[in-house]
């Protein structure tokens, strides 16, 4: 013969099953209500809102654990006493958001004469906001858990509202699935408690780190709203698109890939300067580039085939001429340079020699800003001043050719050369009072400048 308590448990379970439609309706109303209340006010702080109706298995466990079979005479009394027939969880991003969301509830629930708090938007829903929060759990950790009820057909349906951050939700699952469902751990109770406490502490550290990362992303996102994407955001996007494209196409055509990240950054800087600095409608150009990169993903271009320029390169500017003729000579010999120019010409479809020339001119301007450089040696007159400027531009170009590595166009090296060249030229210009004096010291100046640049690499 079975114990009476099991007959009582069966009665409660049957009553729970019988009232399922009512509980499902209440669950639906509460979910919609809190979605409307919280998402309007807290934006994307609320990650998700989940709900559940207490299962038979959970009900049996609770009836036995809390000894409801001794406290209540009828199944109906026991069901009415259950505080969490319906469970609702507001899941937020970070631990610090939990208290903010709890405080927000006071804007939507007004205290009644009986001390409970009634929902302004739905007078059938009540919360006990007088409960101290967060509450201490049996495991020693805290949780925001609020008792509530909804009046439906003149009956009170109890529900429980929890507020949990992502790491606390994760922790609840770990604790439930790993600890409470594994009775073998009871033997090692004190050891397990210490380990679990350590894991919990580490999760809170992770929460703080994630919050820092999230804030950084939000700050960047807000700054990117000026034209749909900021200068920095756009260049990062383009650089990533180029780098991903190189990896894809190199694997397809030659079976391996190289580290192209710094070259991708240079190409994105080039695109930005060429197409966006003075562009009247940058949004349209951005969309065009997005579409172009999508097209390149399905186009065929092969890194194992040589590049052909429409004609031999020649430029009246000494810097451009030296750099251009060097690149033309090694474009199909040095594989790093070859990959770089394959990508340049793929990104800029059309006349290769024109794109080649434009890229060299922009590289020169990044190292030797034209408006600033034109003022240097102006005290020597137009002709002599230009001669001095041409001489040093040639020194820079020849030194870059001497270095030869693709590093010479990496953004950090270009910036280093810009700063070095500016400081050096301003000092020499200030010390030079005549063309004779300049010519007398030219060899020393040239060797010093060359030495400084080489040392950057």
Spatial contact of 46 and 91, defined as CB atoms under 8 Å apart: yes
- Main-chain phi, psi angles of 305, to 5 degrees: -105, 150
List pLDDT tens digits, range 330-379. Answer: 888 888 888 888 888 887 767 888 888 888 888 888 888 888 888 888 88
The pTM for the full model equals: 0.49
pLDDT for residue 43: 53
DSSP 4-71: HHHHHHHHHHHHHHHTHHHHHHHHHHHHHHHHHHHHHHHGGGEEEEEEEE--HHHHHHHHHHTTHHHH
Would you state the structure tokens that stand for residue 338, as one six-digit string?
């070859």
User: pLDDT band at 226, cuts 50/70/90?
Assistant: very low
Q: Is 290 helix (H, G, I), strand (E, B) or coil?
A: helix
Does the pLDDT of residue 25 top 90, yes or no? Answer: yes
Q: What is the rounded average pLDDT of the residues 402-414?
A: 85
418-453 pLDDT, tens digit per residue, is 888 888 888 888 888 888 888 888 888 888 888 888
CB atoms under 10 Å from CB of 434, counted, come to 11
**Closest-CA residue to 450 (of 405, 392, 409):** 392
At 125 the pLDDT is: 93
Residue 366 in contact with residue 277, Cβ under 8 Å? no
What does CATH list as the number for 4-167? 3.30.460.10
* Token duo for residue 311: 């004609």
Tens digit of each residue's pLDDT (9 = 90 or more) over 72-86:
778 888 888 888 889
Q: Give me the helix-helix angle, 318-330 and 352-367, nearest 10°.
A: 130
Residue 114: CB partners within 8 Å, gap ≥ 6?
none
- Model confidence pLDDT, tens digit, residues 44-59: 678 888 899 888 788 7
CATH code 3.30.460.10 region(s) in the chain = 4-167
Could you tell me which of 158, 95, 94, 149 has the C-alpha nearest to residue 126? 149
- pLDDT tens by residue, 143-152: 899 999 999 9
Q: How far apart are CA 256 and CA 259, in angstroms?
A: 10
Q: In the chain, what percentage of residues exceed pLDDT 70? A: 82
Helix (H, G, I), strand (E, B) or coil at 157: strand
Give the span between the Cα atoms of 95 and 103, in whole angstroms. Answer: 14
Tell me how far the alpha carbon of residue 263 is from its chain's centroid.
Answer: 22
């Amino acid at each position: 013969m079975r114990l009476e308590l099991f007959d009582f448990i069966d009665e409660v379970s049957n009553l729970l099953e019988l009232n399922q439609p009512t509980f499902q309706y209440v669950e639906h109303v509460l979910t919609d209500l809190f979605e409307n209340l919280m998402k309007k006010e807290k934006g994307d702080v609320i990650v998700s809102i989940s709900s559940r109706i207490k299962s038979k298995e959970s009900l049996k466990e609770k009836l036995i654990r809390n000894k409801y079979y001794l406290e209540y005479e009828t199944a109906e009394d026991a069901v009415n006493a259950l505080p969490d027939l319906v469970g609702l969880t507001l899941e937020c991003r970070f631990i610090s958001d939990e208290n903010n969301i709890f405080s927000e509830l006071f804007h939507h629930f007004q205290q009644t004469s009986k001390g409970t708090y009634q929902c302004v938007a739905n007078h059938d829903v009540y919360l006990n906001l007088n409960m101290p929060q967060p509450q201490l759990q049996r495991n020693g950790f805290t949780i925001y858990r609020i008792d509530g009820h909804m009046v439906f057909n003149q009956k009170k349906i109890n529900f429980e509202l929890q507020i949990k951050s992502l790491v606390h939700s994760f922790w609840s699952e770990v604790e439930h699935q790993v600890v409470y469902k594994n009775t073998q751990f009871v033997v090692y109770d004190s050891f397990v408690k210490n380990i679990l406490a350590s894991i919990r502490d580490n999760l809170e550290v992770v929460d703080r780190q994630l919050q820092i990362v999230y804030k950084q992303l939000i700050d960047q996102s807000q700054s990117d709203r000026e034209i749909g994407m900021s200068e920095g955001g756009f260049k990062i996007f383009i650089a990533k698109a180029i780098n991903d494209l190189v990896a894809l196409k190199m694997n397809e055509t030659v079976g391996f890939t190289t580290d192209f990240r710094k070259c991708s950054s240079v190409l994105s800087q080039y695109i930005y300067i060429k197409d966006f600095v003075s562009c009247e409608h940058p949004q349209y150009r951005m969309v065009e580039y997005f579409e172009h990169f999508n097209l390149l993903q399905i186009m065929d271009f092969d890194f194992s085939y040589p590049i052909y320029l429409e004609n031999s390169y020649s430029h009246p500017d000494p810097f451009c001429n030296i750099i251009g003729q060097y690149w033309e000579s090694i474009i199909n010999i040095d594989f790093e340079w070859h990959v770089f120019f394959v990508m340049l010409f793929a990104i800029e479809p059309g006349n290769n020699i024109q794109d080649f020339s434009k890229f060299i001119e922009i590289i020169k301007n990044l190292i030797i800003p034209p408006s600033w450089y034109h003022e240097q040696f102006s005290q020597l007159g137009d002709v002599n001043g230009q001669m001095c400027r041409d001489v040093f531009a040639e020194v820079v170009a020849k030194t870059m050719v001497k270095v030869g590595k693709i590093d010479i166009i990496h953004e950090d090296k270009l910036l280093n050369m810009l700063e070095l060249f500016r400081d050096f030229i301003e000092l020499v210009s200030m010390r030079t009072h005549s063309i004779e004096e300049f010519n007398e010291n030219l060899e020393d100046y040239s060797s010093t400048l060359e030495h400084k640049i080489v040392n950057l690499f």
